[in-house]
Amino acid sequence: MSVLKANEYKQFEDIKYVNANGEEYWLARELSVKLDYIEWRNFSKVIDKARLACKNSGFDVEDHFVEVNKMVEIGSGTNRTVVDYELSRYACYLVVQNGDPRKEVIAHGQTYFAIQTRRQEVADYFNQLDEDNKRLVVRGNIKQWNQMLAEAARNAGLITNEEYAVFQNAGYKGLYGGLDVEDIHERKNLKKSDKILDFMGSEELAANLFRITQTESKLKRENIQGAQGATATHYSVGKKVRQTIKDLGGTMPEDLPTPDKSISKVEREQIADLKKKAKKKPLMLDE
């Protein structure tokens, strides 16, 4: 590990605790500071999404997000009780996965907290989920892989937003038989503010996830350079994924049904439901 990376990761190591059972954990409020979140109310939204991701991964939320109360001084010798969480390493991983991708420190945290999950156990649990929860899981994966794809595209030489938009459209055109983002948006009868990925079923999302992961891998593996080459690669990968679907006798992505409810709405409802099911605790002041 380079000295730079060691210093980047040390900030997370410095706030790690070990309980009486030898289990490591991090306090959410301390982690929020390291991740450059100034206000707790903003970070608590990230916690909510991470808790939901934990639930949909088949793990017990309460095992990884242990709610605790702590006293803090607010001035003039006055104290108040606030909510905090003891986070497992896996919980921290989910937190940084759901953090603001524009923050450089988030990328450092994603690497630091990366763990090998029990792949088969997660896969088995995934198959037991209903359609909306499957959509949530795959959409979450796409968010992270899209960040990695964007980085690979930048390394290939795509600099401007216009270049990246053309690059993204090429992938969709390959996968959707020539349809671009605007065409797909219109075909799904979406409002201008709607995101097409939020109105895909799990099967359509999975096809797009495969397109994204394989493009990211090919750009890096073959060290493709230049906007034209990267864009052609994205189109080619999308087209091959489409051909694979055809060879398997599957339904073309543009012909798959469009869900009535957006994934964003499903996520909000799931988070609200998760909060309702949590044990009722005394009302406490918070910042």
pLDDT grade for 271, boundaries at 50, 70 and 90? confident
User: What's the rounded mean pLDDT across residues 13-25?
Assistant: 88
Q: Are residues 25 and 101 in the same domain?
A: yes
Q: Are residues 155 and 185 in the same domain?
A: yes
Q: Are residues 58 and 163 in the same domain?
A: no
Output the six-digit token pair for 198.
């939020």
Q: Are residues 253 and 208 in the same domain?
A: yes
Q: Is residue 185 part of a domain?
A: yes
Q: Is residue 85 part of a domain?
A: yes
Domain termination residue (choose one: 120, 148, 179): 120
Q: Are residues 204 and 116 in the same domain?
A: no
**CA pair distance 53, 267, nearest whole angstrom:** 10
Q: Are residues 160 and 204 in the same domain?
A: yes
Domain termination residue (choose one: 120, 141, 164): 120
Q: Is residue 39 part of a domain?
A: yes
Q: Is residue 285 part of a domain?
A: no
Per-residue model confidence as pLDDT tens digits over 74-105: 666 677 888 899 999 889 988 988 888 778 88
Does position 180 have pLDDT exceeding 50, yes or no?
yes
Q: Are residues 77 and 157 in the same domain?
A: no
Per-residue model confidence as pLDDT tens digits over 240-264: 999 999 999 999 999 999 999 999 9
How many domains is the chain built from? 2
Does position 155 have pLDDT exceeding 70, yes or no?
yes
**CA pair distance 56, 242, nearest whole angstrom:** 28
Does position 204 have pLDDT exceeding 90, yes or no?
yes
Does position 219 have pLDDT exceeding 90, yes or no?
yes
pLDDT grade for 28, boundaries at 50, 70 and 90? very high
Domain termination residue (choose one: 67, 89, 120): 120
Q: What is the pLDDT at residue 144?
A: 83
User: What's the rounded mean pLDDT across residues 135-140?
Assistant: 88
Q: Are residues 186 and 215 in the same domain?
A: yes
Q: Is residue 284 part of a domain?
A: no
1-5, 126-130, 158-162 — which one is most confidently predicted on average? 158-162
User: What's the rounded mean pLDDT across residues 126-149?
Assistant: 86
Q: Are residues 180 and 143 in the same domain?
A: yes
Q: Which domain holds residue 191?
A: 130-265
Q: Are residues 10 and 109 in the same domain?
A: yes
Does position 71 have pLDDT exceeding 80, yes or no?
no
Q: Is residue 278 part of a domain?
A: no
| Whole-Å CA distances, 125 to 131, 133, 155 | 13, 11, 36
Q: Are residues 57 and 93 in the same domain?
A: yes
268 or 75: whose pLDDT is higher? 268
Q: Are residues 108 and 157 in the same domain?
A: no
Does position 282 have pLDDT exceeding 80, yes or no?
no
Q: Is residue 286 part of a domain?
A: no
pLDDT grade for 143, boundaries at 50, 70 and 90? confident
Q: What is the pLDDT at residue 78?
A: 74
Q: Is residue 272 part of a domain?
A: no
pLDDT mean across residues, the chain: 85
Does position 3 have pLDDT exceeding 50, yes or no?
no
